[in-house]
Amino acid sequence: MPIEKNNNNYLSEEKANEKNTENVKVVQEKTYKKKSLLKPKNDIVFQTLFTRGSESITKAMLEDILNIKINKINLDKSKDLLNDNIRNKNGRLDIRAILNGNIDCDIEMQLVPHEKMVERFLYYWSKMYAANLKGGEDYRELKKAISIIIIDAEIPILKKIPKAHTEWEIREKKFQEVVLTDHFEMHIISLPEAVKEYNDNKKDEVLQWMIFIDNPENVEVSKIMEENKDIKEANKRLMEISQDEALRRQALNEEIARLDEGQRLYDATQKGLKQGREEARKEKIKIINKLSSMGMTDSDISEAVGISKQEIRKIINKNVK
């Protein structure tokens, strides 16, 4: 006669299994936290976090930034762009997405600002747009192209616009309600401005993403993840890739290279300033001696060039000698 199994035993086993699963998750979480999280705004980390294998995360972020429904996302072109641009100047590393089968979207993390970066944004948008048309094809083959630039700096030209996320189209100068074409779209997001703006608008999903990208270990990110499941998923993925020693080395090397480049620029600037000051000093001495030879008094020369009469006299006496 078969022995009947107690349903209570089944329930006990099921609860035990659930508890074991939960314990494994806790151990994994603790393991991940043994190492600090990599910063998503690092080029290498950004590309790893939002490229192939992370479609759902990238889709969620793009839906929030673009305010559209994305039914299909293809990130296959990201690898090609990575190969082309990994050593490109100014720390540029792209993610290329095809949205809903007919929209090209280029996502860029820009770490190093420079004077002509807006022109550069336009140049790369134009390359993406033109790449849609192969020789012999009709203009009807051209697709909408969207550039999203997340920049780790405040942008002087955008200071008059009181928001971190600006959206750009081509509009008629006087009749600004008329858009020339929907094929051009550009989003520029300043991380420092987003961090400041978040304090006044903590429900804004785009700002929540920027807080996460800027510093995932910010205490605000923990609060955001309580309600934003997509950022919680992105953080989980970040914890996973942060355990990759090879990726950590790549990210560190990228950061060192960026800091070295910054130091080289600083040193060159300081050298230029020093040379400029020396040239200005020599020129001022020439002017002082010239004015003195024309019979001007020390007081008049002092007023003209902006240095003391005592310094004027030293320069003149040295020249006489």
For 71-130, how does the pLDDT look when each residue is reduced to its tens digit (9 = 90+)?
Answer: 999 987 655 444 444 444 443 447 889 999 999 999 998 877 777 888 888 998 998 898
297 and 171 fall within a common domain: no
Total domains in the chain come to 2
Rounded to an integer, the average pLDDT of 24-52 is 71
What is the spatial distance between Cα 43 and Cα 82, in angstroms, rounded to a whole number? 10
Mean pLDDT is highest, among 31-40, 103-112, 263-272, for: 103-112
Structure-model confidence comparison of residues 212 and 7, the more confident one = 212
Amino acid code (one letter) for 173 = K
Q: Is the same domain home to 111 and 226?
A: yes
218 and 71 co-located in one domain: yes
Residues 53 and 93 in one domain: yes
- Mark whether 41 and 127 lie in a shared domain: yes
Q: Are residue 238 and residue 100 in the same domain, yes or no?
A: yes
With CA atoms as reference, report the closest residue to 107 among 148, 48, 51: 148
Contact status, residue 239 vs residue 231, Cβ threshold 8 Å: no
Q: What is the pLDDT of residues 154-200, one digit of tens each?
A: 888 888 899 999 999 999 999 999 999 999 999 999 999 999 999 99
**Cβ proximity of 43 and 65 under 8 Å:** no
Q: Are residues 277 and 252 in the same domain?
A: no
Judge if 294 and 199 occupy the same domain.
Answer: no
Contact between 288 and 301 (Cβ < 8 Å): yes
| CB within 8 Å of 232: residues ≥ 6 apart | 225
Smallest CA-to-CA distance from 242 within 11, 73, 21, 34 is with 34
115 with 94, same domain?
yes
Domain interval for residue 158 = 34-260
Pair (309, 162) in one structural domain: no
Q: Are residues 135 and 237 in the same domain?
A: yes
The CATH number covering residue 279 comes to: 1.10.10
Tell me which residue of 111, 124, 198, 116 sits closest to 150, measured CA to CA. Answer: 111
